[in-house]
Amino acid sequence: MDFGFPSEAVVILGVTVVSSVWLDLFSHRNSEEVTLKNATAWSVFWISVALAFYGYLHFRYSEEFASLFLSGYVLEKALSIDNMMVFVAIFSSFGIKGILQHRILYYGIVGALVFRAAFVAAGTAVFGLSHWIELLFAAIVLWTGIKMFNGSEENDETIDYSHHWSVRLTKKLLPVFPRLVENKFLVKRSIADDVAEKEGFSLSRSAPLYATPLLLCLLCIEVSDIIFSFDSVPAIIAVTKEPFLVYSAVIFAILGLRNLYFMLAAAAKYLIHLEKAVALVLVFIAIKLGSSALGLYHIHHEVSLIVVLGLITLGVVASLLFPEKEQHASDP
């Protein structure tokens, strides 16, 4: 990808990401259960790394570049919260718990980094070719914001993702073993036969390899993230058209998602107004992009950063001050 930025910055980004990922993997090499305390500590670590990179851009290049990076990072992080809630429903559908969630999220994030790179490259390449393209991006972001603000008519937690179209397609291509086998995504025929004999069931198809529910869950996670990219990438490109800043913001936000997931799984029920705050952020970004494309008014990057941070902070504070009232089953 042509980042259009000095090679020094690209190298520093690469070294920072690789060393941080290695440190994360080394710390979790024993495959222990992820606790809320551990997830919180690592979330602080990843946010600190992103802020350090923000400081580097600020002092090495310009305040504007740093501000654009931070705006994109905060926006991607906020948008990821909604996607994490879908992950909660997917794990529930497949009965995946504990350390197995950590394993799936690791491979899911690796896939997300690859797919986001492709989306960023394609998006930044076409963006700016015509004001009609920019208006199309604005329409996508606005539609996403309105949809998020109104809320989904169907509660994600009630969806059975074990019947998702990606799962049905996989079952047509590869026979599925209906049990979890340790932390394996695929199992050989010999292992499948042994487990089936011990648990007293027969295999419907004969094959050298079988997909486990772990693989089906991973594929479902990847597909949902790709769909999510259609909304999030245009929103970030609307903040800054510089490919390096877009991808660096995305990569730092994604790298902390594993730990963010375990935090949100515990705290999501308390952040009831955050989704609407993120929706308002998207509406603002759409207005900013549409106004700029039509040559009406250019909103300064500092104003964008203040609005993004302000709305998200307001959503968190509102959730704490005005929690959802509990409904008791015994109430008439």
Q: pLDDT tens for residues 168-199?
A: 887 778 887 877 888 888 888 888 778 777 77
> With contact defined as beta carbons under 8 Å apart, do 168 and 183 qualify?
no
pLDDT band at 155 (very low <50, low <70, confident <90, very high): very low
Using CA atoms, how far residue 209 sits from 79, 108, 184, 191, in Å, is 37, 22, 12, 10
| pLDDT tens-digit map of 223-237 | 888 877 777 777 777
Q: Residues with Cβ < 8 Å from 205, sequence gap 6 or more?
A: 175
pLDDT value, residue 329: 41
pLDDT value, residue 33: 64
DSSP 29: T
DSSP 326: P
- For the CA atoms of 112, 118, 120, 126, what is the dihedral angle to 10 degrees? -150
pLDDT value, residue 41: 83
pTM for the full predicted model: 0.73
Q: What percent of the chain has pLDDT over 90?
A: 3
pLDDT value, residue 204: 67
Q: How far apart are CA 195 and CA 257, in angstroms?
A: 34
Question: Which among 245, 308, 293 is positioned nearest to 79, based on CA atoms?
Answer: 308
pLDDT band at 34 (very low <50, low <70, confident <90, very high): low
Question: Which stretches does DSSP call E strand in the chain?
Answer: 186-188, 209-211
Using CA atoms, how far residue 198 sits from 70, 191, 201, in Å, is 54, 11, 8
